[in-house]
């Protein structure tokens, strides 16, 4: 923490203080930009160490993405996750409609078609 205070006293400008929202962004592109801005920061190591010590819930700290107090490689975008292959086979079949082997009764009489 003294490294950070000393750098601030020398008048060092930090991108995280100029645009703090970027360092807590949701989009992967913004997170990559924040990491890039940290690359040349003179206090990046102290920043990351402090974030891990405090178990910061999220954000870019010291050029690394921190989620729930740990460093992670990347963050999944917002929204519903893509379909998974781990879903039960039965659920996938039922969503696709009848399978080839199943029979569907089609009424021959037009009156029956309207009633059903």
Around Cβ 88, how many Cβ atoms within 10 Å? 8
pLDDT value at residue 40: 87
Q: Which two tokens stand for residue 31?
A: 């997170």
Q: How many Å apart are CA 65 and CA 102, to the nearest integer?
A: 50
Query: Within its chain, how far is the Cα of 63 from the centroid?
Result: 17
Which pTM value belongs to this model?
A: 0.58
Q: End-to-end distance of the chain based on CA atoms, in angstroms?
A: 74
DSSP for residue 25: -
Burial class (CB in 10 A: 0-12, 13-18, 19+), 50: middle
72 Cβ contact partners less than 8 Å away, ≥ 6 residues apart = 65, 66
Supply the pLDDT for residue 49.
Answer: 94
As averages over each run of 10 residues, the pLDDT of the chain (116 residues) reads 67 83 92 92 92 93 92 74 60 54 66 60
């Amino acid at each position: 923490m003294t490294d950070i205070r000393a750098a601030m006293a020398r008048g060092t400008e930090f991108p995280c203080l100029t645009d703090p929202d970027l360092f807590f962004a949701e989009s992967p592109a913004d997170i990559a930009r924040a990491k890039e801005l940290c690359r040349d920061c003179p206090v990046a190591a102290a920043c990351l160490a402090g974030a891990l010590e405090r178990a910061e819930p999220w954000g870019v700290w010291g050029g690394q993405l921190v989620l729930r107090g740990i460093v992670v490689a990347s963050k999944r975008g917002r929204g519903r996750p893509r379909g998974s292959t781990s879903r039960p086979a039965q659920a996938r079949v039922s969503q696709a409609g009848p399978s080839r082997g199943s029979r569907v009764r089609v009424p021959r009489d037009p009156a029956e078609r309207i009633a059903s």
